Amino acid sequence: MRRKVVRRAAVTGGVCAALLVAVYLLAVWTVPGQAFEDAVLRGALLAAGGEQQAAATATLDKITEYSLAVAIVVVFAIGLARRQVFLAMSGAGMIVVSVVTTEVLQRLVLLRPVLLPSGERRADQSFPSGHTTIATSVMCGLVMVVPYRFRGVAVFLTSLWATTVGASTVTASWHRPSDTIGSDLIVLIYACTAIALLACKGSVREAEPRSRAARAARGTLVGLHAVEAVAAVCIGVVVGGSALRDLAHSLEPGDGTNQAAYLAGRAFALAGGALVALTILGLLRRIDLTAPGRGLGAGGHQGPGSAGHPDRLSEGPGNGQRRAEAPGAGLRKTGQLVVPSRPVRHDHR
């Protein structure tokens, strides 16, 4: 089980890292990428003052340093309440490291070259999005620390919020679509790392079989996110492709092209949030992030002399009594004959 979880996390994390590099290079370091995302920003300006943008700004304003601190404490407290200290540290630490990495990359590392003669915020370093990182990492942290039977509920509630935050950064013209997708990928990389560490620590085990109703609920949850992701990607590709064709002829297109790019950018942000939820569900499929209980040996099996061993009754400390042996414990089989085994001498000195 441990090797399976580590291998799954390593492959997923590696794919996310490769996608992160690809998204950054294509969106930030190419002329078509910058032209498309400039059009997204111009489309957002056309929608300025509307109800959607006001709602998006209100959603983003609720994410502050204080709300982030509260979320980290809640994730850590849930892990502690389950008496899983390493799990609590992993869930909370994953949030902290994701946010710090995003801030460092955005401010100091990932530059945005000026490739266009004109445009919106040409030299603005906005990759990746801090708000999206906070929302997505809190979602993944909660999904990691809650008990297995509540995981689906946690994904359903938090993924709606995280996806809304990611799309709101584009709607409010705070970020470009690639910024939100980059944040999603950074969080997934660290979530995979945390899960792999938990597996190496032995804090994973195969989840118990679920009821038919629970399996149906999980299937519905996965189906909803899959439909959302596929629909959003299709809209983004079709509408965004149309905008890119117009941008190939002119870097300063009309309002129709800008609005199409804006719609496609929001669709890509929504798809990113849905794909994060699907990925974390797939990564933790049939896996309970719980350390073995006390008295359990490696692999979760009870060893001889432990409290549930069928052949012996453990003696209490200092009672000086022999352990009661199960019937037939003094016999051994030889072929078809059953002969007494060598008697065990007990020293009562």
Phi then psi for residue 128, to 5 deg, are -90, -175
Residue 313 maps to a domain: no
Q: What is the DSSP letter of 325?
A: B
Residue 294 maps to a domain: no
CA dihedral sign of residues 252, 256, 262, 265: negative
Residue 278: its pLDDT value, please? 92
Count of domains in the chain?
A: 1
Q: Three-class SS of residue 71?
A: helix
What would you report as the CA-atom Rg of the chain, rounded to the nearest whole angstrom? 27
Residue 211: its pLDDT value, please? 74
Residue 17: its pLDDT value, please? 96
- The parts of the chain modelled with pLDDT lower than 70 are 119-120, 122-123, 207, 209, 251, 292-349
* 184: its two tokens: 């999603």
Separation in Å, CA 93 to CA 248, 293, 333: 44, 23, 56
Residue 146 maps to a domain: yes
Read off the pTM. Answer: 0.80
Residue 298 maps to a domain: no
Residue 200 maps to a domain: yes
Residue 49: its pLDDT value, please? 78
pLDDT in tens, 22-67: 999 999 999 999 999 999 999 998 888 788 888 999 999 999 999 9
Residue 214 belongs to domain spanning:
2-288
Residue 302 maps to a domain: no
Side chain identity at 181, as an amino acid letter? I
pLDDT in tens, 170-193: 999 999 999 999 999 999 999 999
